[in-house]
Amino acid sequence: MQKSSDTSDGITLRDHVYDGIEEYDQKLPNWWLFTLYITMVWFVIAWVAYYQLPVNAPTDYEKLHKEIAQIELKKQAELEKMLASLNDDSLLEMSKDPNHTSAGQAIYESKCAACHGVDLTATLGGVNLPGVPLNDSEWIYGGNPLQIMYTVTHGSPDITKGMIAWQAQLSPSEIAQVTSYILSKQTAPPEPALKPRTEI
Protein backbone atom coordinates (compact mmCIF):
# COMPACT_ATOMS: atom_id res chain seq x y z
CA MET A 1 0.00 0.00 0.00
CA GLN A 2 1.34 3.44 -0.96
CA LYS A 3 1.73 6.20 1.60
CA SER A 4 1.53 9.92 0.94
CA SER A 5 2.53 13.07 2.76
CA ASP A 6 1.80 16.77 2.22
CA THR A 7 4.63 19.14 1.36
CA SER A 8 4.83 22.73 2.54
CA ASP A 9 3.44 24.07 -0.78
CA GLY A 10 0.27 21.92 -0.65
CA ILE A 11 1.44 19.25 -3.11
CA THR A 12 0.82 15.70 -1.99
CA LEU A 13 3.93 13.57 -2.27
CA ARG A 14 3.30 9.87 -2.81
CA ASP A 15 5.64 7.40 -1.24
CA HIS A 16 6.65 5.90 -4.53
CA VAL A 17 9.88 6.10 -6.52
CA TYR A 18 10.50 4.62 -9.94
CA ASP A 19 13.93 4.92 -11.56
CA GLY A 20 14.77 7.71 -9.15
CA ILE A 21 11.61 9.68 -10.02
CA GLU A 22 9.29 10.66 -7.17
CA GLU A 23 5.60 10.85 -8.07
CA TYR A 24 3.37 13.70 -7.00
CA ASP A 25 -0.40 13.50 -6.58
CA GLN A 26 -1.45 17.00 -7.66
CA LYS A 27 -5.15 17.85 -7.37
CA LEU A 28 -6.71 19.09 -10.59
CA PRO A 29 -7.62 22.80 -10.67
CA ASN A 30 -11.16 23.59 -9.53
CA TRP A 31 -11.99 25.53 -12.71
CA TRP A 32 -11.11 22.46 -14.79
CA LEU A 33 -13.20 20.15 -12.60
CA PHE A 34 -16.19 22.53 -12.62
CA THR A 35 -15.99 22.80 -16.41
CA LEU A 36 -16.03 19.01 -16.69
CA TYR A 37 -18.98 18.67 -14.29
CA ILE A 38 -20.97 21.40 -16.05
CA THR A 39 -20.52 19.76 -19.46
CA MET A 40 -21.64 16.41 -18.05
CA VAL A 41 -24.76 17.93 -16.50
CA TRP A 42 -25.50 19.87 -19.69
CA PHE A 43 -25.20 16.71 -21.77
CA VAL A 44 -27.79 14.91 -19.61
CA ILE A 45 -30.21 17.86 -19.76
CA ALA A 46 -29.81 18.29 -23.53
CA TRP A 47 -30.18 14.56 -24.20
CA VAL A 48 -33.36 14.32 -22.14
CA ALA A 49 -34.84 17.49 -23.65
CA TYR A 50 -34.02 16.63 -27.27
CA TYR A 51 -34.60 12.88 -27.40
CA GLN A 52 -36.94 12.00 -24.53
CA LEU A 53 -39.42 14.87 -24.06
CA PRO A 54 -42.30 15.23 -26.57
CA VAL A 55 -41.12 18.58 -27.94
CA ASN A 56 -42.48 19.65 -31.32
CA ALA A 57 -39.35 21.54 -32.28
CA PRO A 58 -38.25 20.90 -35.90
CA THR A 59 -35.38 18.51 -36.40
CA ASP A 60 -32.17 19.50 -38.19
CA TYR A 61 -33.41 17.52 -41.20
CA GLU A 62 -36.65 19.53 -41.32
CA LYS A 63 -34.80 22.82 -40.86
CA LEU A 64 -32.44 21.96 -43.70
CA HIS A 65 -35.24 21.07 -46.09
CA LYS A 66 -37.13 24.23 -45.19
CA GLU A 67 -34.07 26.34 -45.99
CA ILE A 68 -33.51 24.46 -49.26
CA ALA A 69 -37.16 25.03 -50.23
CA GLN A 70 -36.80 28.76 -49.56
CA ILE A 71 -33.65 28.90 -51.67
CA GLU A 72 -35.41 27.05 -54.52
CA LEU A 73 -38.38 29.44 -54.35
CA LYS A 74 -36.01 32.40 -54.54
CA LYS A 75 -34.15 30.87 -57.48
CA GLN A 76 -37.45 30.13 -59.24
CA ALA A 77 -38.62 33.73 -58.74
CA GLU A 78 -35.34 35.05 -60.14
CA LEU A 79 -35.59 32.63 -63.07
CA GLU A 80 -39.14 33.70 -63.90
CA LYS A 81 -38.06 37.33 -63.76
CA MET A 82 -35.14 36.58 -66.07
CA LEU A 83 -37.30 34.66 -68.55
CA ALA A 84 -39.91 37.42 -68.56
CA SER A 85 -37.23 39.87 -69.65
CA LEU A 86 -35.81 37.65 -72.40
CA ASN A 87 -35.79 39.02 -75.91
CA ASP A 88 -33.61 38.73 -78.98
CA ASP A 89 -31.09 41.23 -77.64
CA SER A 90 -30.77 39.61 -74.21
CA LEU A 91 -30.28 36.17 -75.77
CA LEU A 92 -27.58 37.60 -78.03
CA GLU A 93 -25.91 39.07 -74.94
CA MET A 94 -26.07 35.65 -73.27
CA SER A 95 -24.34 34.16 -76.32
CA LYS A 96 -21.35 36.40 -75.54
CA ASP A 97 -21.13 35.27 -71.92
CA PRO A 98 -18.76 32.29 -71.46
CA ASN A 99 -20.65 31.15 -68.36
CA HIS A 100 -23.90 30.72 -70.31
CA THR A 101 -22.32 29.29 -73.44
CA SER A 102 -20.20 26.73 -71.57
CA ALA A 103 -23.26 25.53 -69.66
CA GLY A 104 -25.22 25.44 -72.92
CA GLN A 105 -22.44 23.49 -74.62
CA ALA A 106 -22.54 20.79 -71.92
CA ILE A 107 -26.30 20.44 -72.34
CA TYR A 108 -26.03 20.50 -76.14
CA GLU A 109 -23.39 17.78 -76.23
CA SER A 110 -25.44 15.50 -73.98
CA LYS A 111 -28.85 16.11 -75.57
CA CYS A 112 -28.48 17.53 -79.07
CA ALA A 113 -25.19 16.34 -80.55
CA ALA A 114 -26.57 12.93 -81.50
CA CYS A 115 -28.78 14.55 -84.17
CA HIS A 116 -27.03 17.85 -84.90
CA GLY A 117 -23.38 16.81 -84.47
CA VAL A 118 -20.86 17.94 -81.91
CA ASP A 119 -19.71 20.72 -84.26
CA LEU A 120 -23.34 21.67 -85.16
CA THR A 121 -22.85 20.56 -88.79
CA ALA A 122 -25.29 17.61 -88.52
CA THR A 123 -22.55 15.27 -89.74
CA LEU A 124 -20.37 12.66 -88.11
CA GLY A 125 -17.33 11.42 -90.03
CA GLY A 126 -18.86 12.50 -93.34
CA VAL A 127 -22.19 10.81 -92.59
CA ASN A 128 -25.32 12.95 -92.38
CA LEU A 129 -27.13 12.86 -89.04
CA PRO A 130 -30.94 13.11 -88.66
CA GLY A 131 -30.87 16.76 -87.61
CA VAL A 132 -30.16 19.89 -89.61
CA PRO A 133 -27.02 22.04 -89.34
CA LEU A 134 -27.24 24.71 -86.64
CA ASN A 135 -24.14 26.73 -87.48
CA ASP A 136 -25.37 28.30 -90.73
CA SER A 137 -27.97 30.96 -91.56
CA GLU A 138 -30.69 28.60 -92.83
CA TRP A 139 -33.55 28.02 -90.40
CA ILE A 140 -36.78 26.14 -91.03
CA TYR A 141 -38.78 27.74 -88.22
CA GLY A 142 -37.02 31.06 -87.80
CA GLY A 143 -33.48 32.08 -87.00
CA ASN A 144 -34.08 34.92 -84.57
CA PRO A 145 -32.93 34.11 -81.02
CA LEU A 146 -36.47 33.88 -79.60
CA GLN A 147 -37.56 31.74 -82.55
CA ILE A 148 -34.66 29.35 -81.99
CA MET A 149 -35.53 29.15 -78.32
CA TYR A 150 -39.17 28.50 -79.18
CA THR A 151 -38.17 25.64 -81.49
CA VAL A 152 -35.94 24.07 -78.84
CA THR A 153 -38.75 24.41 -76.30
CA HIS A 154 -41.67 23.14 -78.39
CA GLY A 155 -39.96 21.15 -81.14
CA SER A 156 -41.11 21.01 -84.72
CA PRO A 157 -44.84 21.10 -85.58
CA ASP A 158 -44.65 17.57 -86.99
CA ILE A 159 -42.84 15.34 -84.50
CA THR A 160 -42.50 12.58 -87.11
CA LYS A 161 -40.41 14.86 -89.35
CA GLY A 162 -38.51 17.02 -86.91
CA MET A 163 -37.17 17.66 -83.46
CA ILE A 164 -38.94 16.72 -80.26
CA ALA A 165 -39.99 19.31 -77.69
CA TRP A 166 -37.37 19.65 -74.96
CA GLN A 167 -39.51 21.53 -72.44
CA ALA A 168 -40.27 18.30 -70.56
CA GLN A 169 -36.58 17.47 -70.12
CA LEU A 170 -34.89 20.86 -69.85
CA SER A 171 -35.70 23.81 -67.64
CA PRO A 172 -36.31 27.23 -69.24
CA SER A 173 -32.90 28.43 -68.09
CA GLU A 174 -31.22 25.37 -69.63
CA ILE A 175 -33.07 25.97 -72.91
CA ALA A 176 -31.90 29.59 -72.84
CA GLN A 177 -28.32 28.40 -72.28
CA VAL A 178 -28.53 25.94 -75.18
CA THR A 179 -29.92 28.72 -77.36
CA SER A 180 -27.09 31.05 -76.34
CA TYR A 181 -24.56 28.35 -77.21
CA ILE A 182 -26.11 27.82 -80.65
CA LEU A 183 -26.13 31.57 -81.26
CA SER A 184 -22.47 31.77 -80.29
CA LYS A 185 -21.61 29.34 -83.09
CA GLN A 186 -23.38 31.18 -85.90
CA THR A 187 -21.16 31.86 -88.90
CA ALA A 188 -23.54 34.36 -90.54
CA PRO A 189 -26.50 36.52 -89.54
CA PRO A 190 -29.80 34.59 -89.56
CA GLU A 191 -32.01 34.79 -92.62
CA PRO A 192 -35.73 35.59 -92.31
CA ALA A 193 -37.78 32.65 -91.17
CA LEU A 194 -39.95 30.69 -93.55
CA LYS A 195 -42.51 30.31 -90.78
CA PRO A 196 -41.72 33.05 -88.28
CA ARG A 197 -42.70 32.46 -84.67
CA THR A 198 -42.40 35.31 -82.24
CA GLU A 199 -44.23 33.75 -79.31
CA ILE A 200 -42.14 32.19 -76.54
In the chain, the domains with their CATH numbers are 4-52 (no CATH), 86-184 (1.10.760.10)
| Model confidence, pTM | 0.55
Q: Which residues of 141-158 are buried (b: 16+ CB within 10 A; e: fewer)?
A: bbbbbbbbbbbbbbbeee
Render each residue's pLDDT in the chain as its tens digit; 200 residues.
445 555 555 566 666 677 877 766 677 889 999 999 999 999 999 888 878 887 677 778 888 999 999 988 887 787 677 667 788 888 888 889 998 899 999 999 999 999 999 999 999 888 899 889 998 888 888 888 989 988 998 888 887 778 898 988 888 888 899 999 999 988 655 554 444 444 44
How far apart, in whole angstroms, are the C-alpha atoms of residue 133 and residue 141?
13
The answer to whether the beta carbons of residues 20 and 12 sit under 8 Å apart is no
